[in-house]
Amino acid sequence: MTLETILFYALSFVSVGSALMMITRRSPVMSALYLILNFFALAGLYLTLHAQFIAVIQILVYAGAIMVLFLFVIMLLNLGDEKKLSEKMSYKKIIPAGLSFGLLMELLYIVSYAKSDLPLTHIERATEIGTVEYVGKALFTDFLFPFEVTSILLLAAIIGAVVLAKKKLD
Amino acid sequence: MVEIQSYLILSAITFIIGVVGVLARRNAIIVFMSIELMLNSVNLTLVAFSAYLGDTTGQMLVFFVMTVAAAEAAVGLAIVIALFRNKQTVNIDDINILKW
Amino acid sequence: MVEQTLHSLSQFLPETTLTITFCISILAGLILRNKPKVIPVISFAGILLATVFAVRQMGSSQAVFSGMIVVDPFAVFFKLLVGSTAVIIFLFSIYSQEVQSTLKRLVEYSSLLVAMTLGMFLMAGAVNLLMMVLAIELTSLSSYILAGYTKEAPDSSEASLKYIIYGALSTGLMLYGISILFGLTGATDVYAINRSLAATSVNSVALLIAVLLIIAGFGYKISAVPFHFWTPDVYEGAPITITAFLSVASKAAGFAMLIRFFKISFIDFNLLAAHAGGVWGLLQGFEWNKILAILSVLTMTLGNLVAVWQNNLKRLLAYSSIAHAGYMLMGVVVLNDKGLAAVLVYFMVYLFMNLGAFYVVMLVANKVGSEDIDSYKGLGYRSPFISVAMVVFFISLAGLPPTAGFIGKLFLFAALLDARWVWLAVVGALNSVVSLYYYVRVVRNMFLRDPEGSTEPIRFSFPQMAILLLLLVPTLLFGLFYSPIVELANASVLMFGVR
């Protein structure tokens, strides 16, 4: 076992474990914290894939900004109280669980079956394409247009968030 | 050397955990977190393919997925706040999500 | 690089206009805080201008911005459709009580409508899966917000929440499908996907799963069964103007993307060159049109059957619009240009008849204060003109002559029978019969029932009638003189890079 393999399995264990904890916790605060743990594990996995810049962004944007927003809303609404959020398990949940299990089996089937169709070698360039320099270059040449479209997308999202969360209708 | 299949299986598992979270949980905030989890597994698949194909497109997509996730989270949480003001609840039980 | 970008910008006037209008609307809203009524005028002018620019793009065919977006007759057709719907929606908004009662939020309302129109314009031209996702997301985000726009209505924010949860879920599924497809073909550009699929054979199960996941994203936008769950609640909870916009423009843009993705990704260029009449052919023996055929049957059957039980007219029209998505999918199942042209004809017709029906519902709701089917009792005596208009729209939606709806259905069924899809045509015809039942139910209430409560005649102002005529006249006229719309549709099936 190489160091890389050990690292991969350790990180995947953390990732799956924290994901399971996230969807089963009662308190949203706990869920949010487990999700942050999951994001850190993912950032580690990105590093094993030589995507350094993405790994940094993962921590800064996801764990640092998006999850803080979640925690902020939870605290704003004062949802820490577990009694308010009691959830009943019911037979209705068997249906989505069954559906999802079927989908999982299919996905696992295709990724294992598709082995022969998938590229198997780590290409040497992989280390190179993950750097800030390379990413930045691609972002401002070939992907310039989608990049500009996201600015409109974010502007619309900002207006929407402000309109919806505003207290009074004025 | 870890094979790409390992990454794909991992991302498939976390993706499904996210889907289960969306379908089974009734707390709207946790539903949104599960959606974040789904989008993160998409990112893992993309980065893995990007590394193994030696193609930068996958990593580029990750940036845009992150932007989409951020925008969705912001608007989604704002809607949750608006709903909480009206109904004092974030449970989507009353909303009956699978109504015809 | 710079020259290329500048050239792309010059080919991109409609979208640039919308972007600028969006920004100006927001800024003007901040500056002219005391005159909120000015903002919709600015937005209206911007959308009108963008639509005019789109008309001027007719006939051009090229890829711009590093092949992210194309300008071709097919895209221009859908831009015109979306643009004119947006213009009509702004006219509706003048008389919508829901919109006018929240006067101070008019700024957000009109600027987000512009953003949504921009998203749909981008959807019409996107040829890269990344662009498709971003365009869907821009459209969806604006519509989530607008659906929850009348915050004081209790079901408005609920509809919004349900809408965004479904939307985010289907975006997630679609993105996962895109990531698998990217792994299989190494590309997100539809032309590159086509080249890759034509050159090397891929695992067919993996391809099927990827395409099914991507269909989840498209299916959500066109509200095809089983991705329709949000539709009735959002249509009922959102302001009528937004409902009308979603039911026509959003669906049209979704169809534009679905057709473009399937046609270009899986077309067999050798077969296309060998046959006349634009036969698409299938790469890798992947029969995606059968998936769409199943989807189409499910969509129209469920839409029509459930519509029968509805008592709220907005909900009834929601299910009827689901059923119409099913009819239009039939045209996509036929793998040739004839089927595609039929879909385009149907969309032009659908624009007038569906917007017309929603407009009448809005006018009646303004006066009566209810969208319930019972409040239409005796409406034929209280307000004969709009009742007759409603009857015309309903006859057209049911697909009976001499209205435009008949022409739309005629071309669809002709294309189906031509390609030997007899069983699908039979299902479609049976569905039209079912749909007749619930449309007639409303008509019966209007003319064969005595009014309950007030029997006072309801009067409408002259401009309100003028807008109604704007929709009513084409619905009747295109039923008789249909050659212009058929010619436009035939000219608009051309896509960049195909042929």
Give phi and psi for C126, each to the nearest 5.
-65, 130
**Residue B100 confidence (pLDDT) above 50:** no
Domain that holds residue C394: 296-499
Alpha-carbon gap, residue A49 to A128, rounded angstroms: 11
Domain that holds residue A33: 1-87
Q: Tell me whether residue B99 is in a domain.
A: no
The chain B residue lying nearest C232, using CA atoms, is B100
The predicted structure's pLDDT at residue A123: 57
Rg of chain A over all Cα atoms, to the nearest angstrom: 21
The predicted structure's pLDDT at residue C35: 83
CATH number of the structural domain spanning residue B53: 1.10.287.3510
Q: Tell me whether residue A41 is in a domain.
A: yes
Residue B82's nearest CA partner among A24, A36, C163 is: C163
Alpha-carbon gap, residue A51 to B51, rounded angstroms: 8
Alpha-carbon gap, residue C331 to C408, rounded angstroms: 11
Domain that holds residue B57: 4-87
The predicted structure's pLDDT at residue C391: 92
Provide the b/e sequence for C184-200 (b: ≥16 CB within 10 Å): bbbbbbbbbbbebbeee
Query: Mind listing the pLDDT tens digit for each residue in C77-134?
Result: 999 999 999 999 999 998 888 777 777 788 889 999 999 999 999 999 999 999 999 9
Q: How many distinct structural domains can be found in chain A?
A: 1
Query: Mind listing the pLDDT tens digit for each residue in B53-85?
Result: 888 888 899 999 999 999 999 999 998 888 888
One-letter amino acid of A102: G
Alpha-carbon gap, residue C494 to C499, rounded angstroms: 8
- Report chain C residues whose CB lies below 8 A from the CB of B65: 175
With CB atoms and an 8 Å threshold, state whether B99 touches C232: yes
Average pLDDT of chain C to the nearest whole number: 88
Q: Rounded to a whole number, what is the distance in Å from the CA of A15 to chain C's nearest CA? A: 18
Plot region of C284 (φ>0 → left; ψ -120 to 50 → alpha; else → beta):
left
With CB atoms and an 8 Å threshold, state whether A164 touches C151: yes
Q: Tell me whether residue A1 is in a domain.
A: yes
Task: State the average pLDDT over residues C475-484.
Answer: 90
Q: Tell me whether residue A47 is in a domain.
A: yes
- Report chain A residues whose CB lies below 8 A from the CB of C130: 143, 146
The predicted structure's pLDDT at residue C63: 86
The predicted structure's pLDDT at residue A90: 55
> What percent of chain C has a predicted confidence (pLDDT) above 70?
98
With CB atoms and an 8 Å threshold, state whether A117 touches C26: no
Q: Tell me whether residue C382 is in a domain.
A: yes
Residue C249's nearest CA partner among C135, C102, C387 is: C135
**Residue C384 confidence (pLDDT) above 50:** yes
Whether the complex's predicted ipTM surpasses the cut of 0.90:
yes
- When pLDDT is cut at 50, 70 and 90, the band that residue A169 belongs to is low
Alpha-carbon gap, residue C81 to C78, rounded angstroms: 5
- Report chain A residues whose CB lies below 8 A from the CB of C108: 159-160, 163
Say whether residue C238 is in contact with chain A using an 8 A CB cutoff.
no
Say whether residue C369 is in contact with chain B using an 8 A CB cutoff.
no
Residue C495's nearest CA partner among C272, C193, C195, C326 is: C272
- When pLDDT is cut at 50, 70 and 90, the band that residue C435 belongs to is very high
Residue C415: which residues within 8 A CB-CB, separation 6 or more?
A: C331, C334, C336, C338, C339, C341, C342
pTM higher than 0.90, yes or no? Answer: yes
Say whether residue C65 is in contact with chain B using an 8 A CB cutoff.
no
Q: Tell me whether residue B57 is in a domain.
A: yes
Alpha-carbon gap, residue C350 to C459, rounded angstroms: 27
CATH number of the structural domain spanning residue A57: 1.20.120.1200
Pairing of strands C62-64, C69-71: antiparallel
**Residue C280 confidence (pLDDT) above 80:** no
Average pLDDT of chain A to the nearest whole number: 80
- When pLDDT is cut at 50, 70 and 90, the band that residue C446 belongs to is confident
Q: Tell me whether residue B92 is in a domain.
A: no
Q: Residue C453 burial (CB < 10 Å; 0-12/13-18/19+)?
A: exposed
Residue C440: which residues within 8 A CB-CB, separation 6 or more?
A: C394
**Residue C352 confidence (pLDDT) above 90:** yes
**Is the CB of residue C284 less than 8 Å from the CB of residue C197?**
yes
A35-39, B89-93, C287-291: least confident range: B89-93
Query: Mind listing the pLDDT tens digit for each residue in C129-181?
Result: 999 999 999 999 999 988 877 656 666 777 888 889 989 999 999 999 999 89
**Residue A122 confidence (pLDDT) above 60:** no
Cβ within 8 Å of B, A 36-55: 38-39, 42, 45-46, 48-51, 53-54
Alpha-carbon gap, residue A161 to B81, rounded angstroms: 10
Task: State the average pLDDT over residues C234-257.
Answer: 92
Q: Tell me whether residue C36 is in a domain.
A: no
DSSP letter for A168, please.
S
The predicted structure's pLDDT at residue A170: 47
The predicted structure's pLDDT at residue A91: 56
One-letter amino acid of A85: L
Q: Tell me whether residue C64 is in a domain.
A: no
The residue ranking higher by pLDDT, C450 or A57, is: A57
Q: Rounded to a whole number, what is the distance in Å from the CA of C443 to chain A's nearest CA? A: 38
Q: Tell me whether residue C314 is in a domain.
A: yes
Q: Which of C133, C165, C176 sits opposite B31 (nearest CB)?
A: C165
- Report chain B residues whose CB lies below 8 A from the CB of A151: none
Query: Mind listing the pLDDT tens digit for each residue in C189-225?
Result: 999 998 888 888 887 888 888 898 999 889 999 988 8
Alpha-carbon gap, residue C301 to A33, rounded angstroms: 45
Q: Residue A132 burial (CB < 10 Å; 0-12/13-18/19+)?
A: exposed
One-letter amino acid of C100: Q
Task: State the average pLDDT over residues A127-134.
Answer: 77
The predicted structure's pLDDT at residue B98: 43
Q: How many distinct structural domains can be found in chain B?
A: 1
Alpha-carbon gap, residue C80 to C21, rounded angstroms: 17
Q: Rounded to a whole number, what is the distance in Å from the CA of A122 to chain C's nearest CA? A: 14
One-letter amino acid of A132: V
The chain B residue lying nearest C228, using CA atoms, is B100
Q: Tell me whether residue B96 is in a domain.
A: no
Q: Tell me whether residue C198 is in a domain.
A: no
**Residue C258 confidence (pLDDT) above 90:** yes
The residue ranking higher by pLDDT, A130 or C355, is: C355
Q: Tell me whether residue A28 is in a domain.
A: yes
- Other Cβ atoms closer than 10 A to C201: 12
Q: Tell me whether residue B26 is in a domain.
A: yes
Q: Tell me whether residue C260 is in a domain.
A: no
- When pLDDT is cut at 50, 70 and 90, the band that residue A116 belongs to is low
The predicted structure's pLDDT at residue B72: 93
The predicted structure's pLDDT at residue C5: 80
**Residue C245 confidence (pLDDT) above 50:** yes
Bridge-partner residues for C312, per DSSP?
Answer: C372
- When pLDDT is cut at 50, 70 and 90, the band that residue B96 belongs to is low
**Residue C228 confidence (pLDDT) above 90:** no
- Other Cβ atoms closer than 10 A to C380: 21
Q: How many distinct structural domains can be found in chain C?
A: 1
Report the range out of C93-97, C199-203, C254-258, C269-273 with the highest average pLDDT: C254-258
Query: Mind listing the pLDDT tens digit for each residue in B4-33?
Result: 888 888 998 899 889 888 888 888 899 999
With CB atoms and an 8 Å threshold, state whether C175 touches B42: yes
Report how far apart, in Å, the C-alpha atoms of A149 and of each of B28, C15, C44, C420 are.
28, 11, 22, 43
Task: State the average pLDDT over residues C31-37.
Answer: 84
**Is the CB of residue C242 less than 8 Å from the CB of residue C147?**
yes
Tokens 């691609």: give the residue.
A138
CA dihedral C423, C428, C430, C435 (to 10 degrees): 170
One-letter amino acid of B52: Y
The predicted structure's pLDDT at residue C422: 92
Query: Mind listing the pLDDT tens digit for each residue in C392-429?
Result: 999 999 988 889 999 999 999 999 998 888 999 999 99
Say whether residue A105 is in contact with chain B using an 8 A CB cutoff.
no
The residue ranking higher by pLDDT, A98 or C80, is: C80
